[in-house]
Chain A
Amino acid sequence: MNKPYVRSLSKTGWFLTQPRYKRYMAREVTCLFIFAYTFLLIWGLKRLAEGPDAFQGFLNALHSPLGVLFNLAVLIAAVYHSTSWFNVTPQAMPIMRGEEFVPGNIIVGAHYAVWAVVSLIVLILGV
Chain B
Amino acid sequence: MAKSNKPIFWGLFAAGGTVTAFITPALALITLFAAMRFSPDMFTYGAIHAFAAHWLGKLVIFGVILLSLWHAAHRTRVTVHDFGVRADGLVAIVVYSLAGLGTLLTLYYLLYI
Contacts and interface: CB of A to CB of B under 8 A. Distances in A.
A31 interface: yes
A95 interface: no
Secondary structure of the B side of the interface?
Answer: helix
A28 B80 CA distance: 9
Interface residues of B, number: 51
Interface string B44-70: 010011011000000001000100110
Given A37-B24, A56-B45, A122-B26, A45 B75 contact: no
Interface size class of A (residues with CB under 8 A): 35 or more
B20 A34 contact: yes
B109 A75 contact: no
Contacts, number: 151
A118 interface: yes
Given A56-B45, A82-B21, A45 B109 contact: yes
Nearest to A86: B21
Contacts of B95: 35
Given A32-B79, A45-B105, A81-B20, 20 more contacts: A31-B72, A34-B24, A34-B72, A35-B75, A42-B106, A42-B109, A45-B52, A48-B109, A48-B113, A49-B110, A55-B45, A56-B45, A62-B31, A63-B36, A63-B37, A71-B35, A79-B25, A118-B26, A123-B29, A123-B30
6 contacts: A25-B82, A38-B68, A42-B109, A59-B43, A82-B25, A119-B26
